[in-house]
Structure 1
Amino acid sequence: MFLSKAWAWITGKPVLDDKKNDGAATPSTAISEEASNNLRQRKAGPSNVIAMTSTAEWKKHLALSSDSKPLVVDFTATWCGPCKKIAPFFAELSGKFPEAMFVKVDVDDLDDVMSQCGVRAMPTFQVYKNGTKVDELVGADQAKLQALVARNTL
């Protein structure tokens, strides 16, 4: 029973305990799904990542990039395992480097943007200043991603 309660606490799903209440099944005191989501959000830190939903929105943010306000782009896909793994770290960086704009582009939704930017693998991270690409990283390496953002924002 201890393991099932521990698992319930980890997953946030209630465990039915049929030994209580004269055999009637009742949920145990597992952490609620809402509380679990709040905990995950707090652990991830503040996120200032904007999801691009159209080519027009992409062009608007690209035009806003400057030497003092670079645009850091995460080219991602929902089916990409490494993309999912590094996404929370990218969101964390957006909170640590408020002097930059952080956006993500789903390559399946905005394949024209992906083509224009020369993206061939995911995840790809690019940095733009004054509408021009100045730096790029291909792959999900946290240390290299942090270095990419740091050298283009300081």
Structure 2
Amino acid sequence: MSEYSFHLVCLHCQATNRVPAARLSAAPKCGKCGQALLTASPHELNAQTANKVIQKNDVLTIVDFWASWCQPCIMMAPEFKTAAGQLPQVVFAKVQTDKYEQAAAPYNIRSLPTMVAFRNGKEVARQSGALPSNQIIQWVQSLQA
């Protein structure tokens, strides 16, 4: 990867795309399936896609680890979606830990909800507990600086 391009995994077909930095704000599309690479809403990841998206994306990727039985997780879901809509150059994804335990296990998730920020396959920050959208946005923006 050159310093002027980023790898982005398509959340629809899992193809890895190389996107020039100058095109990140121009709604890039997947070269394989034609779907948008950066969407305004979180995408559900499963056991197979979670690792690839986390490891291969060069752009900031925020993953919400949650469970269906967790009330704070359910309360935060619309807030996470709102934040995703406000930060179009960040990948927002969700992993349902009670359905895909093996996808969450490598990241030592101890409480729910937990948002983990990844860049270039490495964890750069994490935030546990339910947050309103404005605090999620503020947290993510602090990681972009």
Q: What is the TM-score normalised by the length of structure 2?
A: 0.67
Aligned equivalent of 2:122: 132
Aligned equivalent of 1:52: 45
Whole-Å Cα distance in 1 between the matches of residues 122 and 106 of structure 2?
Answer: 12
Q: 1:92 aligns with which of 59, 82, 99?
A: 82
Whole-Å Cα distance in 2 between the matches of residues 86 and 152 of structure 1?
Answer: 20
Aligned equivalent of 2:10: none
Whole-Å Cα distance in 2 between the matches of residues 60 and 136 of structure 1?
Answer: 19
Correspondence 1:116 to 2:109: no
RMSD of the TM alignment (CA)? 1.6
Shift of 1:144: 3.8
Superposed CA offset, 1:93-150 (max 9, x none): 1111011110000001111122100101100000000000000001012254222211
- Provide the aligned length of Structure 1 versus Structure 2: 106
* Greater strand content: 2
Gaps of 5+ in 2: 1-38
Whole-Å Cα distance in 1 between the matches of residues 55 and 69 of structure 2?
Answer: 29
Q: What is the TM-score normalised by the length of structure 1?
A: 0.64
Q: 1:81 aligns with which of 71, 74, 85?
A: 71
* Greater helix content: 1
Q: In structure 2, what residue type is equivalent to 1:150? A: Q
Aligned equivalent of 1:64: 56
Q: Secondary structure at the match of 1:48?
A: coil
Identity across the alignment (%): 25
Q: In structure 2, what residue type is equivalent to 1:126? A: V
Whole-Å Cα distance in 1 between the matches of residues 41 and 137 of structure 2?
Answer: 16
